[in-house]
Chains A and B, each alone.
Chain A
């Protein structure tokens, strides 16, 4: 089955630690995205990548980093510099010709930092 996988579903970390969230897709999509979702707010774009070895900052990139070494993978690192890291993180992908439209989302990772 084609789709996007995110792991783990739940993640707990101590304040001051970096943590990496996994995102893998087998849809052969060129574009991939990372969003965070907080209660009462819409999804906010953290980073996106339109092609391998290239990525761009979204609206709230501070305190996050990404890499795109393979087409299938787009891991997100939440660094200790991110002031409010506790959130629901969603990875998505789309075909390059569709742009940021008709995105396929993964199941999400809920990160809790204490």
Chain B
């Protein structure tokens, strides 16, 4: 079965630096790979989606890359702010029955 691996350890970075989160997957490449943000006790919020044939996607301070050879996606937040502190979920998507959520990486931006 498909597995998604996100670093379970929290990532602490200094305000203003670039945060880079990693998502690795096994087996086949997804048609889409998504990233969501989740704050404690709340539902996830959609951030970005990248397709299998795309290498990079940007939205404001966010950037996602997708390397099907390495079976990896990287999620970058540039000029990070304390308000960016949250858990970020990587989601493997290949259709309704093939949506797999990672366990998430907790990001802490230190002022």
Q: Do A and B come from one complex?
A: yes
Chain A residues packing against B (C-beta within 8 Å): 4, 35, 40-45, 48, 50, 56, 58, 90, 92, 99-108, 110
Inter-chain CA distance A3–B42, complex, in Å, is: 14
| Partner of B101 from A4, A42, A99 at Cβ < 8 Å | A42
A108 with B102, Cβ < 8 A, contacts A42-B4, A42-B89, A100-B93 known: no
Chain B residues packing against A (C-beta within 8 Å): 4, 8, 32, 34, 41-46, 49, 89, 93, 95-97, 99-104
| Partner of A100 from B42, B89, B96, B102 at Cβ < 8 Å | B96
Give the chain B neighbours of A108 by CB distance below 8 A.
41-43
The chain A residue sitting closest to B8, CB to CB, is A40
Most buried by B among A4, A42, A58, A99: A42
Q: Is the pair B100, A42 in contact by a Cβ cutoff of 8 Å?
A: yes
29 pairs, CB–CB < 8 Å, chain A vs chain B? A40-B8, A40-B103, A41-B103, A42-B4, A42-B89, A42-B100, A42-B102, A43-B101, A45-B99, A50-B96, A90-B43, A92-B43, A99-B93, A100-B93, A100-B96, A100-B99, A101-B32, A101-B49, A101-B93, A102-B46, A103-B44, A103-B46, A104-B46, A105-B43, A105-B44, A106-B43, A107-B43, A108-B41, A110-B41
Q: How many A-B residue pairs have CB under 8 A?
A: 52
